[in-house]
Structure 1
Amino acid sequence: MAETSTGTGTTGRNQPLGDTELRLMQRLAQQITATDLELVNSDATYGELAWNWGRAHRAESGSWRHRLWFDGTDGTDRTDLIAWAWAALPREVPRADGTVRDYTDAYLTYQIHPDHNTLIDDVIGWYEQTAAGVRRTLVTQAADQVAQARWAAHGYTPESDSTDDSTSDSSADDGDWTQLNTRDLEDIETPDLPDGFAFTTAADAGPGATVRAHLAAWPASTMTDDAYQGLLQAPGYRPDLHLLIQAPDGTMAASAVMWLDPANATVEFEPVGTHPGFRRLGLGRALVLHGLHTARAAGASHATVACLGAPAHPKARGLYYSVGFRYFSRDVLLAKAAVQ
């Protein structure tokens, strides 16, 4: 077995991360989901990959670098991807309101097939070279002890309050780490909407209303009309599985994107949010329950959703627990200062 690679590093012409490469990365995520879900990087799930690529590739791809590792003698058999790394370098990204979001750190998303975990040092070395001179950040899974040990050996340390302690109930832990929650799709409660509210989809509401719904829930988002057009190109995105709740006055009051992974009969919710003017009405809960029913009808038998896991951030976790999700795994935030 010889490992070959393609992509970009610090030399050579920058080849964009396109949908062909993304589909290969999604396939690896599907393979690991089927056997080792606890090792799937929280930013490297089938749906999260499509979400992050789709909404950002038009505006941000110039700051992206990637590398793919294949199990083959000449790198031409691209069905055998065994590892990949995707780095976002410091950049400025315009928001829909005319402001700019300034990213000053580099951020790495990566995935390695468990049978090839010795490639972790190759991934680390590539990231060190690609993002030299800036603060470097990433997440790894708490269950991936091999990866955590190797990142530590290269000088990467956990961010504050991001070490693995899933039993902690200290409200002082306000870190930004996330946890993965799962449930099966048996015995789903019937959703209950307030009078005058109705379920709809992005397919029926159209792009403009869909973008406004997202921005209402996440005002600091970099979602724009153009970004949504990019999302429509993302492998796995289905407007009929982008669920919305319409208020009596016509406002889109809540939204949830669902990503159906047919290979594993799973559905992932990412993201879920409610308009601030319509919170505390049970809309988020009703939308997730409606989504579970919709996913089951589409062929899914299992669902996942990620949320902030620190005890100081209980709202989303409480919502998902209330509809039957339970903790499964979590990530660990790692960083290395630019001077190192």
Structure 2
Amino acid sequence: MTDSELLTAADIPLMQGLAQRVTALRPDHISAGASYGELAWVWGQGCTPYGSTWPRRHWYAGDELVAWGWAFLPRTVRRRDGSTTEVTGSSLSYQVHPGHLHLVDEIIDWYDGVAAGLERAVTPTNAERFALARWAAHGYEPDADDGEWTQLNGRDLTGLDEPRLPDGYRLRTADEVGPDAAVQAHVDAWERTSYTARSYADVRRTAAYRGDLHLLVEAPDETMAASTIMWFDPANETVEFEPVGTHPKHRRLGLARAMLLAGMHRAVAAGARHATVVAEGGAHDSGPARLYQGLGFREISRDAPMLKPAG
């Protein structure tokens, strides 16, 4: 059984359920855009401005979702600083249960149809050997190596150091500081973001969001200097940090390290035994990877971007 239509809020818990089952079997098959927390985050922060450009398709075995594809079609990205970017190509997030890998070809055919005439990008992980071969058989080639990479990292929540914030800084939660401060913390950390109060309202409406697991660091002047959202997957006793950001004026003070350590302690109290975080890096910026490695995170897998030219 399959169906194809625009992605809705009701789809996200279904897709997260598949992410939970895949995580239990093959965590190295979880690409950066298809994890339990990332699904909620991407949906929430982008559904209002871009939802009309998000077709999706589900594949079922009986009543159980076993695969999905989520296409991101051309759109105009408007940022808070007034700049805009025209996205003229397409990209795809997808997931398939390891027991139903034969569906990869159907996912590819669907994506080629819904994005016909566009440049098409997709990001399987480097561990998805079968899928990588099938994408290549359909004319997709590895993205040109520009030195940039995205990887999923994990660690067990044992042997945690105690968090230490600089004098005058303190840990807060989104429940305590309220929506305005939480939004401003994100905007300050990501200067060219399109994140708005409406984006955050949509994030908060996802079933996986918890305000007590949305952590912030308050500076001595009572502004928010850093923030992260933790997404708790009870089925796998795992917490995912996404996003993680620090105000430029408060960087290199150890705030992110202390915030993540405090978050891991809080995650243990919530029932988690494992934590994950996605790192992006490259020749000119490996700071996040060094931060996570210093906190004991180790690589689980890397995304392996592939492209197919327009036509």
- 1:7 pairs with one of 4, 7, 25: 4
- 1:267 pairs with one of 217, 224, 239: 239
Give the SS at the match of 1:306: strand
Does 1:105 find its partner at 2:58?
no
- 2:127 pairs with one of 140, 143, 163: 143
- 2:260 pairs with one of 267, 283, 288: 288
* Correspondence for 1:166: none
* Correspondence for 1:84: 68
What one-letter code is carried by the residue in structure 2 that aligns with 1:129? G
Equivalent residue runs for 1:11-160 within 5 Å: 16-72=6-62, 77=63, 80-160=64-144
Q: Deviations over 1:290-324 (max 9, x none)?
A: 11111111110000111025454320011001111
* Correspondence for 1:174: 147
Q: How far apart in 2 are the matches of 1:181 and 1:310?
A: 16
Count matched residues: 311
Q: Deviations over 1:171-208 (max 9, x none)?
A: xx622x21111111111000110100000011111111
Shift of 1:99: 3.0
Q: How far apart in 1 are the matches of 2:234 and 2:185?
A: 27
Does 1:336 find its partner at 2:304?
no
Shift of 1:69: 0.4
Conserved in 1, the CA contact under 8 Å of 2:31 and 2:152? no
Q: Pairwise CA RMSD of aligned residues? A: 1.2
- 2:276 pairs with one of 284, 293, 304: 304
- 1:231 pairs with one of 182, 196, 203: 203
Q: How far apart in 1 are the matches of 2:269 and 2:283?
A: 34
* Correspondence for 1:206: 178
Identity of aligned residues (%): 49
Shift of 1:235: 2.2
Give the SS at the match of 1:62: helix
What one-letter code is carried by the residue in structure 1 that aligns with 2:147? D
Give the SS at the match of 1:264: coil
Give the SS at the match of 1:30: helix
| Structure 1, 25-34 or 96-105: larger mean CA deviation | 96-105
Q: How far apart in 1 are the matches of 2:243 and 2:30?
A: 18
Uncovered stretches (5+) of structure 1, i.e. residues with no partner:
9-15, 162-172
Give the SS at the match of 2:226: strand
Q: TM-score, normalised by structure 1?
A: 0.89
Q: How far apart in 2 are the matches of 1:330 and 1:43?
A: 12
Q: How far apart in 1 are the matches of 2:244 and 2:82?
A: 24
Uncovered stretches (5+) of structure 2, i.e. residues with no partner:
none
Conserved in 2, the CA contact under 8 Å of 1:95 and 1:224? no
Give the SS at the match of 1:19: coil
Shift of 1:232: 1.1
Equivalent residue runs for 1:236-251 within 5 Å: 236-251=208-223
Q: 1:225 to 1:101 in 2, by over 3 A?
A: farther
Conserved in 2, the CA contact under 8 Å of 1:138 and 1:334? yes
Does 1:216 find its partner at 2:150?
no
